[in-house]
Amino acid sequence: MQVKWRNSLKNGWRYAALAPILLLDGCAGNSYWIFDPKGLMADTSLFYLLVDVGIMGTIVGLTALLVVWFMWRYQKGKNRGKYDPVWSHSNTIEVVVWGIPIIAVGVLSYFAVVGTFEINPYNPTVISKQRKPASDPVEVDVIATDWQWLFVYPQYHMAVANELVLPAHTPVFFRLTSTAVTTTFFIPQLVGMIDVMPGMRTKNALESSNIGEYQGIASDYAGAGTSWMTFKTNILSSADFGQWVQRVRQSPTSMTYTSFNNYADPYINVHHKVAYFSSVQDGLFDHVIDEVMNGKTWPIPPMMTENMVAYMQKQNAQHRD
């Protein structure tokens, strides 16, 4: 019921609100990732965005018109409006100018609080309560290094670097940590941002019913390689996902605690290289957090990025590319 009115509201408002922007952008409307969500989490965010812009946009728009009208009416020498050199107080206006923001903030606060619980990254009620999942959730442990993403699938004992593949119509629960510095995990069309921090565990979740490829971004500055620290997110049908899992399992490489230690050294992923690991030592995620909390770091050599061209040659020479 609630979902229904929200959906019609959302679709109506979406096109009304976006019309000017879409017109500006011609037919490439879907390049506005925030307005083109493909998953439950991002969809919910868009709903609140439209509610907020609807309420605030009305007030701000009317205020702007009021100011323009005053500017026109009371311009000196035009004699359009009456000049009153002492008028500076009115109880009615005071009540109105305090009242409007108070009411607006009251209404928006309600939506803000409800929305915060709905897409709370630790337990999003849009995923956990409002739908019956079509299949069992998929768990993904995300480990950010300088400057790559490792996605560990603990249920399948395998891992993939710099590519995230997920089944459609399935809740996905992430646990996230980082080896070195702080960054942020972000897939604009699927789920909002969550910080990824060394020695810490954050969570996030998503669910998508749209098969397709979506951009993932490291959206917080993590040093020299941040701009190349992107990943593609593929949402596949469950059959295709099963096949993909089989493909990863045939990969000759595997990931152990020791090999992770080398993998986590600073590396700029200029060529968006993807790597499959057919098996992963159990508990890698918790092992990384423990290591970091006990003082393990993966330092950056001084001046490694003074000259990017020279650094890339060095990285190539080390056969890490």
Partner 1 sequence: MLVDLAGGWNPMWGRLAWSQIPYDNPILAPLFVAVVVGAILVLGLITYYGKWTYLWKEWLTTVDHKKLGVMYILIGLVMLFRGFIDGLMIRTQQAWAVGAHSSGVFGATHGYLTPFHFGQIYSAHGVIMILLAATPLLVGFMNIIVPIQIGARDMAYPYLNALGLWLTAAAGALIMISLFVGDFAHNGWFGYAPIFELQYSPGVGVDYWIWTMELVALGTTLGGINILATIIKMRAPGMTWGRLPIFVWATLSANVIALTSFPALQVALALIAADRYLGAHFFTAGLGGNLMLYTNLFWIWGHPEVYFVILPAFGMMSEIFPTFSEKPLFGYITMVLASMAIAGVSWLVWLHHFFTMGAGPYVNSAFSVATMLVGIPTGVKVFNWAFTMYRGRLTFNTAMLWAIGALFLLLIGGLTGMMLAVPAINYMVHNSVFVVAHFHTMLLVIVYAIFASVIYWFPKVFGFKLDEFWAKTMFWLFSAGTVLVFVPMYMLGFMGMTRRLDYVFNTVWHPYLLVMEFGIAVYMLSVLAFVALLYVSIRDHAKNQVGADAWGTSRSLEWLTHSPVPFYNFAVLPHISARDEVAWRRDNGIDHVQPDHYEDIHMPNNTGVAIILGGLTFVLGFALVWRIWWLCALSLLAIVALVIYRSFKGDPGYIITAAEVEKMEKEALRREAQISK
Map the footprint of partner 1 across residues 184-243, applying CB under 8 A.
184, 186, 188-189, 191-195, 197-200, 202-203, 215, 217-228, 230
How many residues in the shown chain lie near partner 1 by CB under 8 A?
Answer: 114
Q: Does 308 bind partner 1 (CB under 8 A)?
A: yes
Distance CA 38, CA 208 (A): 6
At which residue do the structure tokens 């709905």 appear?
Answer: 118
Residue 313 CB, nearest approach to partner 1 (Å): 11
Among the listed residues 272, 267, 264, the one whose alpha carbon sits nearest the alpha carbon of residue 312: 267
**Residue among 10 and 248 whose Cβ is closer to partner 1:** 10
**Residue among 15 and 253 whose Cβ is closer to partner 1:** 15
Residues making up the chain, counted from first to last = 321
What backbone phi and psi angles, to 5 degrees, belong to 116? Answer: -60, -40
Q: Does 21 bind partner 1 (CB under 8 A)?
A: yes
Q: Does 317 bind partner 1 (CB under 8 A)?
A: no
> CA neighbours within 13 Å on the CB side: how many for 144?
36
Q: Does 74 bind partner 1 (CB under 8 A)?
A: yes
Residue 172 CB, nearest approach to partner 1 (Å): 16
Distance CA 206, CA 45 (A): 12
Q: Does 32 bind partner 1 (CB under 8 A)?
A: yes
Structure tokens at 93: 């206006």
**Residue among 217 and 248 whose Cβ is closer to partner 1:** 217
- By CB under 8 A, which span of 103-111, 167-175, 234-242, 278-286 interacts with partner 1? 103-111
Residue 196 CB, nearest approach to partner 1 (Å): 9
User: Footprint of partner 1 on residues 141-170 (CB under 8 A)?
Assistant: none
Q: Does 102 bind partner 1 (CB under 8 A)?
A: yes
Please state whether beta strands 183-187 and 191-196 pair in parallel, antiparallel, or not at all (unpaired): antiparallel
Q: Does 316 bind partner 1 (CB under 8 A)?
A: no
Burial profile 269-300: b = 16 or more Cβ within 10 angstroms, e = fewer: beeeeebbbbbbbeebbeebbebbeeeeebeb
CB 187 within 8 A of CB 233: yes
Among 299, 314, 316, 318, binds partner 1 (CB under 8 A): 299
Structure tokens at 262: 């080398």
Beta bridge partners of residue 215, listed in sequence order: 232
CB 148 within 8 A of CB 161: yes
Residue 249 CB, nearest approach to partner 1 (Å): 30
**Residue among 49 and 161 whose Cβ is closer to partner 1:** 49
Residue 229 CB, nearest approach to partner 1 (Å): 10
Q: How far is CA 279 from CA 156, 243, 308, in A?
A: 8, 16, 34
Q: Does 313 bind partner 1 (CB under 8 A)?
A: no
Q: Does 17 bind partner 1 (CB under 8 A)?
A: no
Distance CA 40, CA 147 (A): 28
User: Footprint of partner 1 on residues 244-273 (CB under 8 A)?
Assistant: 270
Among 16, 94, 133, 262, binds partner 1 (CB under 8 A): 94
